[in-house]
Amino acid sequence: MSSSNLLFAAAALLAIFLLSAAEATPPPQSNIPVSWLPFKNLKAPKVTAIAQFAVKEYNKFYPDRPPLTLVSVDSGEYLKADGTNYHLYITAADRYGPGKYQTFVFEYPTGIWDLTSFVRMDRD
């Protein structure tokens, strides 16, 4: 067996060993809570900024609809896991009047926000 074949075989065995060891190792335990936590202050600047971001992104996604403006943040909670998920119930208004909406915004560890859901809740 040539030295290059022997080296290849040794590398393949090492890769198989490392993969099987990785599968047998349990994931590290985390101190991150796995339940949603309510916001302590719905008027906090960050909560308001997240709600305003959600409304702004909704308006960008639906440019042909009457634009919404944020009226209030009615309730909210967050969950930290590989970033932070924000779940807000807000009141927003367009030229026809106010409506109740449920929004989800994800904040990546880099600080970038992404609107993942924006749904009107008070229509039949």
Three-class secondary structure of residue 74 per DSSP? strand
Here the tokens at position 97 are 């009047």
Contact yes or no for 32/80 (Cβ under 8 A): yes
Phi, psi of 90 (to 5 degrees): -130, 165
The amino acid sitting at 71 is V
DSSP secondary structure letter of residue 118: E
Q: How many CB atoms are closer than 10 A to CB 62?
A: 12
Domains parsed from the chain with CATH numbers: 37-120 (3.10.450.10)
CA distances from 36 to 11, 41, 86, 101 (A): 45, 15, 9, 19
Handedness of CA 52, 55, 59, 61 (dihedral sign): positive
pLDDT in tens, the chain (124 residues): 566 555 556 555 555 655 554 455 455 555 655 799 999 999 999 999 999 999 999 999 999 999 999 999 999 999 998 999 999 999 999 999 999 999 999 999 999 999 999 999 987 5
3-state secondary structure 1-51: CCHHHHHHHHHHHHHHHHHHHHHHCCCCCCCCCCCCEECCCCCCHHHHHHH
